[in-house]
Amino acid sequence: MDKRSIWKKTTDAPSFPVLEGRRETDVLIIGGGITGVLCAYQLQKAGVGCVLLEARRICGGVTENTTAKITLLHGAIYDRMIARFGLETAKGYLLAQEEAMREYASLAERIECDFERCPSFVYSRDDCAKIKREVAALKRLGCRAEFYDSIELPFEVAGAVGVGEQAQFHPLKLLYALAKDLPIYENSEIIELREDGAVTKHGRVCAKRIIVATHFPFLNQHGSYFLKLYQHRSYVIALENATKLNGSYVDENEKGMSFRTWGDLLLLGGGGHRTGKPGGGWQELEAFARSHYPGARVVARWATQDCMTLDEIPYIGQYSAATEDLYVATGYNKWGMTSAMVAARLLCDLVRGRKNRNATIFSPSRSILRPQLALNVMESVMGILTPTVPRCTHLGCALKYNAQEHSWDCPCHGSRFDEHGKLINNPATRDKKFK
């Protein structure tokens, strides 16, 4: 079956030239996914000169494989966030998501992108107490959250938290429309990054400031992102002749499933696992569909990959304390739609030297002393010490074969290669040569 997402199948991508010659600009953006495009849009709107370089085609990686939910409900995180960081930080995080949603709604007024309002739910199949704590946490933050003991999914739940007036959309329709008027260069892979810009095969960009929007940051000597992040793989199937839903749903358990409707199709997500580890994949989703939607037919399936932080908050801001004028946005923890808009708005302020009340919340230089750090270190050590080949071109970890997707995946940091060694996902920047 064709493994393109329904977003990719139902839009025509614009094309952009290869960078040739020398360009001078205020801000260089590296990476043409949703974050890069939104950053370029926000900077252009603010009157700041920028250039976006994409190694392949814009929105051709993780961005085109989202399920495109626009919501402040990012799993059952707010109760934990209050406990870890306090009410002020949790409130700031929630307000940032609300601002992002308002920005999408504003854009959708002039760009047709299948934007529609709907309620959003986080459910648990076995932990009612956790859901009730989440409802209480959201209410403390001023959010109109409600508890539900039953929802429209085809199984019983212990409870669910719901918030109205959230949204969903067709991401590529919006991003392609925005991109048409932006200074973008495709098929312009960077071969050398300098303090004053970047060099490609056919050109060079000189810039005062640089934003790295490459999903997983690729500069290992700064920021320790190879310790602060890991990648999680998840899968989606689109079902025809399945029950139409009136909202979007996600399990509070990362191994659970998500649901949303687009047109006449039900999008079922799940089967997830740490990249390079075994997981349920499409087989798990298709088995669920046969059991709960026996009259449905799978018309599309695709997979995506998410960067996960140590504390469930993205890293957005200065790349590291030692790298002035170098910025990053990464670690969206499966919630790239609002997080990318938060990043674009925040970085647009930072590169202009303006204060932003969210800068401290999302700072990449905040403490890394979290339990997940030990797990990330352990995976890296095991990957490096495992005496098998082939090995990743990033930091040399042993690759694992992914039989379901016919790829070689790195369990340390999430790089992926096809069976011929061509790079699929970063942070690796080079193809793998198989002997």
Over residues 362-404, the pLDDT tens digits come to 999 999 999 999 999 998 888 888 887 799 999 999 999 998 8
Is the same domain home to 14 and 39?
yes
pLDDT category, 433, cuts 50, 70, 90? confident
Q: How crowded is residue 278: how many other Cβ atoms within 10 Å of its Cβ?
A: 11
Is the same domain home to 335 and 318?
yes
**Could you tell me if residue 109 is inside a domain?**
no
Q: How many domains does the chain have?
A: 2
Is the same domain home to 61 and 11?
yes
Alpha helical stretches, state H, 141-255: 171-179, 225-228
In this prediction, residues 64-93 reach a mean pLDDT of 98
Residue 315, strand partner residues: 330
Is the same domain home to 385 and 415?
yes
Give the global pTM.
0.96
Provide DSSP, 242-257.
Answer: -PPPSSEEEESSTTS-
**Could you tell me if residue 150 is inside a domain?**
no
Percentage of the residues of the chain whose pLDDT score is greater than 90: 91
In this prediction, residues 287-302 reach a mean pLDDT of 96
Beta strand extents in 264-402 (DSSP E only): 265-274, 297-308, 315-318, 326-330, 400-402
Is the same domain home to 347 and 375?
no
Average model confidence (pLDDT) for the chain? 96
Is the same domain home to 315 and 413?
no
**Could you tell me if residue 426 is inside a domain?**
no
pLDDT at site 435: 66
Is the same domain home to 17 and 61?
yes
pLDDT at site 162: 98
Question: How confident is the model over 223-266, as pLDDT tens digits?
Answer: 999 999 999 999 999 999 999 999 999 999 989 999 999 999 99
Q: How crowded is residue 42: how many other Cβ atoms within 10 Å of its Cβ?
A: 21
**Could you tell me if residue 201 is inside a domain?**
yes
In this prediction, residues 99-126 reach a mean pLDDT of 98
- For residue 49, the domain's CATH number is 3.50.50.60
pLDDT category, 346, cuts 50, 70, 90? very high
pLDDT at site 389: 78
* Main-chain phi, psi angles of 227, to 5 degrees: -105, -30
Check pLDDT > 80 for residue 205: yes
pLDDT at site 404: 85
**Could you tell me if residue 105 is inside a domain?**
no
pLDDT at site 334: 97
**Could you tell me if residue 319 is inside a domain?**
yes
Q: Residue 64 has what DSSP assignment? A: G
- Residue-range definition of the domain harbouring residue 315: 6-66+173-227+311-362
Check pLDDT > 80 for residue 2: no
Check pLDDT > 90 for residue 354: yes
Residue 73's Cβ-side half-sphere holds a number of Cα atoms within 13 Å equal to: 33
Check pLDDT > 80 for residue 1: no
Residue type, 44: Q
291's CB contacts (< 8 A; 6+ apart) are none
Is the same domain home to 378 and 356?
no
Is the same domain home to 350 and 383?
no
**Could you tell me if residue 37 is inside a domain?**
yes
In this prediction, residues 288-296 reach a mean pLDDT of 96
Check pLDDT > 70 for residue 415: yes
The length of the chain is: 435
**Could you tell me if residue 272 is inside a domain?**
no
Provide DSSP, 317-352.
Answer: EES-TT-TTEEEEE--TT-HHHHHHHHHHHHHHHHT
pLDDT at site 188: 98
Question: How confident is the model over 323-340, as pLDDT tens digits?
Answer: 999 999 999 999 999 999
